[in-house]
Amino acid sequence: MLKKLALLVAMVTGFTSAAIANEINANQPESVAKALQDLGYQARMDTDAEGDPVIHSSVSGDRFNIRFYLCEDGEDCEGLQFRAGWDLDDGFDMERINKWNLERLVGKAYLDPESDPFLEMYVTTKGGLNEANFADVVDWWRVVMGEFMVYIQQEGA
């Protein structure tokens, strides 16, 4: 009986360790970068002006970054924000940005002071994401980023 209990404890501990090893979490920026690379994306680690981690990447030639939020002194972060921006010669229309936000579930858009459009998507990682969850998040980002690029290129849509 004791041997069976010890074997069960060893198995559970092993499974737990394997699950933790595959966890993708904002409090472990390297895990986010590695998971992004495992999906075929580039992932260059950096820090922002506040000392928090940031990852630079791209999809279909368009750059985006992943910023880390709710950090303490650049560590112990709780969430990720995917962000991309486009520098347009004539800027973009606020009414169309509002229309985008009204009609979409994923991908919040806004204009910077020069009326250039930006797109963001926040994801909490509290408790961690597994590889399938993270792959789904990145796929949502890829799709919404593509849709937004088409949207900002349309005339008067």
Residue 15 domain flag = no
Look at residue 128 and tell me if it is in a domain.
yes
Number of domains, the chain: 1
Give the domain range for residue 64. 24-153
pLDDT in tens, the chain (157 residues): 545 444 434 444 443 333 444 689 999 999 999 999 999 999 999 999 989 999 999 998 899 999 999 988 878 899 999 999 999 999 999 999 999 999 999 999 999 999 999 999 999 998 899 999 999 999 999 999 999 999 999 865 5
Given the DSSP bridges, would you call strands 108-111 and 117-124 parallel, antiparallel or unpaired?
antiparallel
- 89 contact partners, CB below 8 Å, separation of at least 6: none
Q: Residue 3: inside a domain, yes or no? A: no
User: Does the predicted model carry a pTM greater than 0.75?
Assistant: yes
Spatial separation of the C-alpha atoms in residues 121 and 91, rounded to whole Å: 21
pLDDT for 1:
52
User: Domain holding 100: CATH number?
Assistant: 3.30.1460.10
Specify the DSSP class assigned to residue 146: H
* Residue 22 pLDDT: 63
Would you say residue 89 lies in a domain? yes
